[in-house]
């Protein structure tokens, strides 16, 4: 029985390896003489495809949305990431940008840092695309 199994395994191995040595097939083009291609609406894209996240990002552009952005976005401001960024995220949602200065427990230095960057922040309605689960703390970008 072992001999038959070994023989079959060897045979399948040899047959499988023969596929590597075969001659590749050449493509044969179809004769399209007399075929007319018409413009079709199926091939035209009238508007770029967008999802809810793209639409939300278009609302605030390059600014940091205090209600939707994750803590990693604050890395571009020296001294704000991770401690101050976590406080901002924890106390969201905000109705206006100035509300971020009213977070309880902020030191004077932290308030000054936030005040210096208020023009780079914006506030929009919180969207589950960005705030669902733990995405505001760990969005999987490493």
pTM, rounded to two decimals:
0.58
* Whether 124 contacts 57, CB under 8 Å: no
* Distance of alpha carbon 117 from alpha carbon 64, whole angstroms: 10
Residues 6+ away with beta carbon under 8 Å from 106: 87, 114
* Distance of alpha carbon 103 from alpha carbon 92, whole angstroms: 10
Question: Looking at the predicted structure, is the pLDDT value of residue 125 above 90?
Answer: no
Question: How high is the pLDDT of residue 39?
Answer: 55
pLDDT tens across 22-76, in order? 656 666 666 666 656 555 555 555 666 767 767 766 666 688 889 888 888 899 9
Which has the minimum average pLDDT: 6-15, 55-64, 118-127?
55-64
Q: Domains (ranges, CATH) in the chain?
A: 63-131 (1.10.150.320)
Report the sign of the C-alpha dihedral through residues 64, 65, 66, 69, in that order: negative
More confident residue, 133 or 23: 133
């Amino acid at each position: 029985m072992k001999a038959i199994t070994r023989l079959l395994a060897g045979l399948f191995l040899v047959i499988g390896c023969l596929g590597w040595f075969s001659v590749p097939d050449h493509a044969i083009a179809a004769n399209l003489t007399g075929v007319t291609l018409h413009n079709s609406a199926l091939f035209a894209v009238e508007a770029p495809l967008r999802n809810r996240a793209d639409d939300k990002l278009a609302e605030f552009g390059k600014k940091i949305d205090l209600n939707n952005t994750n803590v990693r976005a604050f890395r571009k401001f020296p001294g704000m990431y991770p401690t101050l960024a976590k406080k901002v995220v924890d106390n969201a949602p905000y109705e206006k940008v100035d509300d971020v200065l009213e977070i309880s427990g902020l030191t004077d230095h932290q308030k000054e840092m936030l005040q210096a960057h208020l023009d780079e922040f914006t506030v929009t309605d919180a969207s589950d695309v960005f705030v669902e689960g733990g995405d505001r703390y760990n969005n999987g970008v490493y």
